[in-house]
Amino acid sequence: MQDDLLVVGFDLETRQEVHIGERPMEQWRALGYGRRETVVCFYCWHGIDAEAGTKVPLLARGRIGGLVRSHFAHPAGMAPPGGHHRETVWHINAKHRLARWAASQPNVARVRMEQWTEERNRRADVHVVLDDGAALALEAQRELITDELWQSRHRDYAAAGVRDVWFMRPDTRIPHVLFAEGTPAWTLYHRDESAEARLGEPHKRGPRWWSEDLRLFGRHHPPCARDAIVCERFALAELCLDAGGVTFPPAMRARLADEAARIRRDADQARDQHERFALRPQETSGPAQRPWAPTPLPPVRPVPRPTNGEPVCEVCHRPLAEPLVRHGRHLLC
């Protein structure tokens, strides 16, 4: 059956979970069904879809260069009716796959599964310690988690100095509370051993956009809550770990760096144009307007008065041959 490709074993002698890729096939066959029978189905032994303590020795199947990859399988007729739940199978396998991947990284000092924090309030699916002392918790999340529960786990890890990294089961909706708190989210695929990242689409450039976080005007990881999303999928072996979590392959990092450099150039150009416009005198459509001032009156030139006592016009001061109009005591011409 298909789910047999994801079966995890349990070694009754070491009392540990085991995965098909951890030893050569010959060793697993020697320990499995029809031989020593010390490697049994992890799920059945732990009471998952069967009575606790159910001993089902496993078969190691697969061949080098075969069409089907190596895997553990239940012997015919010994699997639970309908097989094991896919969510459970995914979760157990995800822990092993992530642990093996983390252990293969050159900068990883220690990897442990089901490791408690020092305060014993959180247990990481896979606990990783890097060479520089940074601690990571790789969490395999098989179902949708509420915002409140995720925030509680996230803050407990932060208080313990542990960076939590989240891997979701395929077809599981990713809660945007992760993105609201700046935490990436990955989807883990078993069958082709790959992981998918979600990046936010570039934000729209508004007024004075160059003064904002320039990272948001290109594809950014993690995305912001309610961003339009674009997915990028990578082989798990191409991804690396550092103190911030999972890092992209070199080619993807180069693509994002080139895009960021282009956005910085656009921002510098937009800022320079804005500053030049602000310093330039304001232009108008017509000639420059002068401030209003009253029109000065023409100077009044004095008219010489006659010295012989002749009557004169009281307005223009010209001599009058005879008074034409008398206005009160004034003579007018």
Q: What is the pLDDT along the chain (333 residues), one digit of tens a residue?
A: 444 557 889 999 999 888 888 889 999 999 999 999 999 999 899 888 889 999 999 999 987 767 777 889 999 999 888 888 777 778 888 888 899 899 999 999 999 988 888 877 888 999 999 999 999 999 999 888 899 999 999 999 999 999 999 999 998 888 889 999 999 999 999 777 899 999 999 999 999 999 999 999 999 999 999 899 999 999 999 999 999 999 999 999 999 999 999 999 999 999 999 988 877 765 555 566 677 777 787 776 665 666 666 766 666 666 665 555 555 555 555
pLDDT in tens, 73-123: 999 999 888 888 777 778 888 888 899 899 999 999 999 988 888 877 888
- The two beta strands, 135-141 and 162-168, are parallel
Residue with tokens 């990046």: 199
Q: Decide: pTM greater than 0.85.
A: no
DSSP 33: T
* Beta-bridge partners for 80: none
Closest by CA position to 167, among listed 248, 226, 94: 94
* H or E, element range at 42: helix 42-45
User: From CA 232, how far away is CA 199, in angstroms rounded?
Assistant: 8
What are the C-alpha distances in Å from 168 to residues 64, 69, 124, 173, 246? 30, 23, 15, 8, 14
- The two beta strands, 240-242 and 330-332, are unpaired
